[in-house]
Amino acid sequence: MTEADAPQSGRVFDEAGAAVHLSVPARTLKSWRYAGTGPAFHRMGRLIRYTEREIDEFIGATRVEPSPQPPWPRAR
């Protein structure tokens, strides 16, 4: 069993709870699942569940460090 497969402590959210935790509409989570771009989730029959750890890992993976200069030329 790998660390990713190991039981995880912490809270487990349904779709609505995960959406609140992420501050996004539940419809956004559905879109992310369909596109394969959102946080990892667990499917148990028709139920979708998200662990707090996986949501937090998703948030960390989307972090963007600000650059010292803008990536575009300044307007004159």
The pLDDT value recorded for residue 22 is: 95
Contact status, residue 50 vs residue 12, Cβ threshold 8 Å? yes
Average pLDDT, consecutive stretches of 10 residues, N- to C-terminus, the chain (76 residues): 57 96 96 95 96 95 83 70
The pLDDT value recorded for residue 4 is: 56
Contact status, residue 32 vs residue 38, Cβ threshold 8 Å? yes
The pLDDT value recorded for residue 1 is: 42
**Of 6, 2, 24, 5, residue with least CA distance to 15:** 24
The pLDDT value recorded for residue 55 is: 96
The pLDDT value recorded for residue 18 is: 96
The reported pTM is: 0.72
- The domains of the chain are located at 12-61
